[in-house]
Structure 1
Amino acid sequence: MHVTGENSPLTPSRRTVLAGGAALGAVAVGTALPLGASAAQGAGKPGTGEVFTLGVASGDPDHHSVVLWTRLARSPLAEDGLGGMSGTIEVEWEIARDERFRKIVRRGRERTDAAAGYAVHAEVAGLAPGSEYFYRFRMGRHVSPAGRTRTAPAPGVLGAGLAMSFASCSQYEHGYFTAYSHLAADEPDLVLHLGDYIYEYKADSYVSPTGNVRDHSGPETESLANYRQRYAQYRTDADLQAAHAVAPWLFVPDDHEVDNNWASDVYEKPQLPQPNFIQRRADAFRALYENMPLRRRNRPSGSHIQLYRTVRWGALANFHMLDTRQYRDDQACDDGWKVCADAADPARSLTGDEQEAWLLDQFRRSRARWDVLGQQVFFARRVNAAGATSMDAWDGYRGSQERIAEGWLAAGVRNPLVLTGDVHTHWANELKANYADADSAVVGTELVTSSITSGGDGADSDPNDDNNLKLNPHIKFRNNQRGYVRTKITRDEVRADFRVLDKVTEAGLPARTRASFVVADRNPGLTEATPG
């Protein structure tokens, strides 16, 4: 990487407008598309000869640096996964204090080629803490859309608060990504994505109850070229591009970035031969790194990728981003919903011993107001009418579930908050010291986001006629519509708004807040609030 100050010229002939499903006035110059128009008109179809067809992104900020990302592709859906690019290419980037790029603070150049999938990662340091920036890329005469990013506050600074939204599970075939557009329109400071960013299936092999509205390109993703092509297809969606461009992301994958319900070295259906699974996982991780704004230290090594990490937001919050796939024991009792004695075996682990020890140490070291676990699968105890629990969630790894909660209690964590994806449904849960005792103390709070599209349109849930709530009294809310969760984190409370859309099989529909809850400082548990 070559980085300079303000003297290295990057003189674009034009400023490319960020065209997303939402009008991002803080980023765009010119007129953005009206809400949903991008999807309705065939979201993300690139112009002839364009190279920044996959948009821009930023991620993993600290108080003085951030990762900037783009990936070049003239033909995003090319079967070889290289997007119609060739040779070694130099890409310039710049980051500015203002959206019109009159106050440039850093410039630099990166080289990319086929070995990198024509992805560009620039780690830009020397930035001011707690500050908003704008960035863009240039290749020859081509200038990328602009993105907005932000650094974390300085260590020890609580700040005025953090607007953070989190999302999960965006199956391209099941619906339009309008929820991403609404998330972008909220203009959060930070976005967490908790997995299932892509899905591995070939067209029409995973059909939602309300039908598929668009198709995956290519076969089931099993090779590097397949994964690169699939990420590119998702990245052409203008609503998703808008969500990436509006704020820095913290990302962790779940299962579909590799294979449904995989666990460590075990693929979904071990009874069927898949001798290439370890290579498949290596290819999936390589493509994941190429397509996410991750730091160089997260670059995969063969079939392993280091993704669990803590990102600190001043003294306000520590975000402990977990990996609940790569180190877990295989699901007990052949997976699924089961009454399974093996699930209670304390030796079984969802995180693996090393990650668990790391997380418990992070708890002991923490001085943050809020300690947030950004992770993938349902944490609270959850039983169905048959008394079964999910072997793929923390319930299938009872020892891990109990040790993590006991760990934050032993460490005196001030406010533990678990954020979860995976289940395609909104939930708000109180975490108990003993789930078998209705009067047991509440020791933490879990907020679970629904999917962006996975599962199709869904339907609203009646809290007065919901067995999930009756069987699990620590669960205070459930809703089976698509959407995301919008939060405001302050020194005194976390407010969570569960955002929903009535349909995702139609593009551009409005979003609304279905329910809101508040978690108060030093008072784990949920208080329902007027929807915001």
Structure 2
Amino acid sequence: MSETDNSGPLRLVAPDQGANAARRRQYSRRTFVGVSLAAGLAVGLGGRGSAAAAATGHTSPSWTGQDPFRLGVASGDPTPDGVVLWTRLAIDPLAEDGAGGMPSQNIDVSWQLARDPQFRHIVRSGVAPAVPEWAHSVHVEVEGLQPGHEYWYRFRVGGHLSPVGRTLTSPAPGNHRDLHAVAVSCSHYEGGYFTAYRHAAEENPDVVFELGDYIYEGAGVAGRFRVHPGSTCVSLAQYRARYALYKNEPETQQLHAAAPWIVTWDDHEVQDNWAGVYDKNGVPSDAFAARRAAAAKAYYENMPLRRASIPNGPDIKLYRRLRWGSLADIHVLDERSFRDRQAGNTNGSTWWFSNRKDEYNSPNRTILGAEQRAWLLDGLRQSRATWQILPQGVFFAKRDITAGPVETLGSDGWDGYGYDRDSIRDTWAARRHNAVVLTGDVHMHFANEIKADFANPDSATVGVELVTTSVTSGDDGSDTVNGGATVLAENPHIKFIQNRRGYVRMKYTRDELRSDFMSMPYVQRPDAPISAAASFVTPAGAPAMHRV
């Protein structure tokens, strides 16, 4: 299918910068995103405002007196011939009813995809409906593109044009093109500015892995650096408004527009430490099922996901497989929706236990569910890619936090579901895969080796785990790690821990993985610099963490 599309250029109204104008001006030119670029395009396309609307034959409905693209744009789940494009219309993003100030009617949204950020060479265009039943979100699944190419996209409603986003298609099968990626997790609005997103966007990555806790669902806490408006999210309106709060941040919009995202969720998109049908306290109920349904719908509305992930009540399919040529198979996991309740959990307040080895390792307990586990094991067995990448939420390696012979392990991570972990590890080890588990959740950087037998430190290293620290959760963090010396002593496979904020930067090649644990000294001011706190090389064919 040819990429040629003869659609003419779109004209625009420069977006309203709103309350975050000062920080929006910090956007990097290299990300082709934000108000500054949109305004520049307005000049290049020959005008703006009502004159622009008249020139293109479009008139603006009365409600478009304000910019409807205040939540930005995004793309995700790239394939060799396509990608998902996303936006959500909102003229009043923080409206408490979650509707973003939009009318209760369908709205046609035009979109364009081009080979250049000036949109001289448009290759795809169309019109997609934004409907109130889905919070006026738009998910466009573009097909027929060229493998391994860079594209730019934008949306229009009436005389308003969105910011411009950059996206990519993945390489064709057989292509071993390098993969430059970043992994982020745990962006807590109350903890600080999302400066890590800005720095990650300036990396110009091929892919962003979002590993969960994109929002925090809790009520505002007085005395925090900045406070969530409203109460704890339970209803659809509350979850929609909370996503709008997070997406209204300029740094969030910058990283979304910089590269395609591959997303999964963890717990705070629904409720802290939830598990399948069980709430935090281990109690299934109709009320929690309704809350899960609201959370799943809001998640889909706000993420660049394909139609395959449209939720059905509380059920949403987030586990899926993507490929980066022949270099990497990406097995995206959902370790919340299908898990059994955490071992020993009785009141939602204790998550660390000793002497529960039999319960933790029981084959009758699962973190993935039987169907997802079978899907993953089958994919690992069949893969011929150089790297196996497993983006997911919670700590995979063993982590004993008590000195001496007594082991104290966490029930919420994979330590609490040893049978599933061993099955996955043993499968990739038997295939001699280069396995890389990507993890968030714990608000600290960890560099972990995955051992063939965690009880034997001298056993073979069969994979690695890169745990990214939070974007802001835990506030500024510190240069010390409480109990860090004990964790390193009791777990020799853990090679690095650090308690600052940031993200993990990765470069995958045919020969090695380079991983950099990017760190900032603070997040409660928006001007934090970033640097690599530690860097490691993992050779292909000999998966281990070698510090450089």
TM-score normalized by structure 2? 0.89
Distance 1:373 1:10 in 2: 40
273-282 or 508-517, larger mean C-alpha shift? 273-282
Aligned to 1:337: 352
SS of equivalent to 1:466: helix
Is 1:176–2:175 an aligned residue pair? no
Are residue 102 (structure 1) and residue 114 (structure 2) matched? no
Could you say which residue in structure 2 is the equivalent of 1:437? Answer: 456
Of 94-103 and 459-468, the range deviating more from structure 2: 459-468
For the 8 Å contact 1:89–1:111, the answer to whether it is kept is yes
Show the counterpart of 1:43: none
Q: How does 1:210-289 map to 2 (within 5 A)?
A: 212-270=224-282, 275-289=286-300
Partner of residue 509 from structure 1, selected from 494, 514, 528: 528
Q: Which residue of 2 aligns with 1:295?
A: 306
Give the CA deviation at 1:460.
2.0
CA distance in 2, matches of 1:348, 1:10: 56
Q: Residue 13 and residue 370 in structure 1: after superposition, are their counterparts in 2 closer, same or farther (change >3 A)?
A: same
Who is 1:148 aligned against? 166
Aligned AA (2:351): G
Assess if the C-alpha contact under 8 Å between 2:447 and 2:496 holds in 1: yes
Relative to 1, partners in 2 of residues 1:154 and 1:457: Cα closer, same or farther, differing over 3 Å? same
Partner in structure 2 of residue 39 of structure 1: none
Counterpart Cα distance in 1 of 2:16 and 2:121: 18
Q: Deviations over 1:386-411 (max 9, x none)?
A: 5210000000011111111011123x
Correspondence for 1:401: 421
Name 1:44's counterpart in structure 2: none
Q: Is the 8 A contact 2:276 2:336 kept in 1?
A: yes
Q: Which stretch of the first structure deviates more once superposed, 22-31 or 243-252?
A: 22-31
Q: Give yes or no for contact 1:58–1:248 (8 Å, CA) kept in 2.
A: yes
C-alpha deviation, 1:182, in angstroms: 0.4
1:500 aligns with 2:511: no
Letter in 1 for 2:352: W
Residue 458 of structure 1 aligns to a residue in which SS? coil
- Counterpart residue type for residue 327 of structure 1: F
Matched-pair contact (CA < 8 Å) for 1:97–1:134: yes
SS of 1:241's equivalent in the other structure is helix
One-letter code aligned to 1:392: D
User: Which amino acid in 2 is paired with 1:315?
Assistant: S
Q: Does the CA contact (< 8 Å) of 1:173 and 1:214 recur in 2? A: yes
Distance 1:366 1:433 in 2: 20
CA deviation map 1:438-467 (0-9, x unaligned): 211111111100000001111124799722
- What is the aligned partner in structure 1 of residue 46 from structure 2? none
Counterpart of 1:6 in structure 2 is 5
- 1:36 maps to none
Contact 1:424 1:449 in 2 (8 A): yes
Matched to 1:97, the amino acid is R
1:89-143 Cα deviation digits (max 9, x unpaired): 0000000000101010000100112101010010111110000000000000110
DSSP 3-state at the match of 2:78: coil
Q: Which residue of structure 2 aligns with residue 368 of structure 1?
A: 385
Paired with 1:450 and 1:24, the residues of 2 have a C-alpha distance of: 26
What CA distance in whole angstroms lies between the structure 2 residues aligned with 1:30 and 1:58? 18
Q: How does 1:45-64 map to 2 (within 5 A)?
A: 49-64=66-81
Q: CA deviation at 1:4?
A: 10
Give unpaired runs (5+ residues) of structure 2. Answer: 18-23, 39-63
Equivalence for 1:470: 489
CA change 1:94–1:31 in 2 (3 A) is closer
The residue aligned with 1:42 is none
Compared with structure 1, are the counterparts of its residues 29 and 354 closer, same or farther at alpha carbon in structure 2 (3 Å cutoff)? Answer: closer
Q: Which runs of structure 2 are paired with 1:23-62 in the superposition (5 Å)?
A: 23-28=28-33, 31=36, 49-62=66-79
Q: For 1:89-128, list aligned pairs within 5 A.
A: 89-128=107-146
User: Is the helix fraction higher in 1 or 2?
Assistant: 2
State TM-score, norm by structure 1.
0.91
Do 1:17 and 1:146's aligned partners in 2 also have CA atoms closer than 8 Å? no
CA shift for structure 1 position 11: 2.2
1:48-87 matches, within 5 Å, as 49-86=66-103, 87=105
Q: Could you report, residue by residue, the CA deviation over 1:6-38 in whole angstroms, capped at 9, with x for unpaired residues?
A: 2344521467699464313351598579xxxxx
Q: Equivalents in 1 of 2:422, 2:228: separation in Å?
A: 40
1:203 to 199, 208, 220: 220
Q: In structure 2, what is the equivalent of residue 37 of structure 1?
A: none
Distance change >3 Å, CA 60–CA 454, structure 1 → 2: same
Runs of 5+ in structure 1 lacking a partner?
34-46, 206-210
> What secondary structure sits across from 2:505 in the alignment?
strand
C-alpha RMSD of the superposition: 2.2
Deviation at 1:269, TM superposition (A): 2.0
User: Following the alignment from structure 1 to structure 2, what is the Cα–Cα distance between the partners of residues 452 and 49?
Assistant: 31
Matches of 1:244 and 1:30, distance apart in 2: 14
Q: Percent identity?
A: 48
Q: Number of paired residues?
A: 506
8 A Cα contact 1:135 1:148, kept in partner: yes
Q: Give the conservation status (yes or no) of the 8 Å contact 2:6–2:122.
A: no
Structure 2 CA distance for partners of 1:302 and 1:4, relative to 1, 3 Å? farther
Tell me the secondary structure at the aligned position of residue 304 of structure 2.
Answer: coil
CA 1:115–1:215 in 2, change beyond 3 Å: closer, same or farther? Answer: same
- Cα deviation, 1:134-178, whole Å, max 9, x if unaligned, reads 00000001100000000000011112x111000100011111100
Cα gap change, 1:344/1:30 in structure 2, threshold over 3 Å: closer, same or farther? closer
Q: Distance in 2 between matches of 1:275 and 1:464?
A: 40
Work out the CA distance in 2 between the residues paired with 1:258 and 1:134: 32
* Contact 2:154–2:163 (8 Å) recurs in 1: yes
Q: Please tell me whether the aligned partners of residues 14 and 35 of structure 2 are also in contact (alpha carbons under 8 angstroms).
A: no
Matching of residue 482 in structure 1 with residue 485 in structure 2: no
Q: Which amino acid aligns with 1:157?
A: N
CA–CA separation in structure 2 for the residues paired with 1:10 and 1:82: 30
